[in-house]
Amino acid sequence: CSKINNSNGNPVEIDSETFQLLAFADQCYQMSQGMFDITSGVLRKIWTFNGGDKMPLAAEVKAILPAISWPKVKFDQTSVILPQGMEIDFGGIGKEYAVDRVTAMLKQAAPNLSIVINFGGDLCVTKPKANNDTWTIGIENPGLNDQGKVAVQIRQGALATSGDAR
């Protein structure tokens, strides 16, 4: 990602895994009608996501908008060209992708086990427990103390949490 972001508009050779991530990012962009855009990570230059209430000025947002445009990114199975001044950020899909990859490897290594994979709130359950029972996953909102606890039953599949949750 760093090599692509520092390429100054020059082609960067990519492997098949990076191609698959870019293709998935493109699918997310298309499905969301442009609302999900991995080039929007440049907003962190003007927007601090620290829980505070400081908002960037309209002029700052307007100035950075030209650096956000997934359709300007060109890629194929062997290379990617990111226009100068733009960046990609896999933060919106990277952790889920990593959970999926680890899940696939563990299913292959231990096909008979029921396994829970948890990467900081992005979870996957490979299959029901041996007795066909569900896994109980606790979700907590730290801001609500004892009131903010929920238990979710998962037999198989994935769950992603976001925000101020544990």
Query: What number of CA atoms fall less than 13 Å from residue 165's CA on the CB side?
Result: 17
pLDDT digits (tens, 9 = 90+) for 116-134: 999 988 899 999 998 999 9
Q: Which two structure tokens, joined as six digits, stand for 126?
A: 């490979």
36: which residues sit within 8 A by CB, 6+ positions away?
A: 25, 28, 29, 92
Q: Given a cut of 70, is residue 100 above it in pLDDT?
A: yes
pLDDT digits (tens, 9 = 90+) for 70-85: 999 999 999 999 999 9
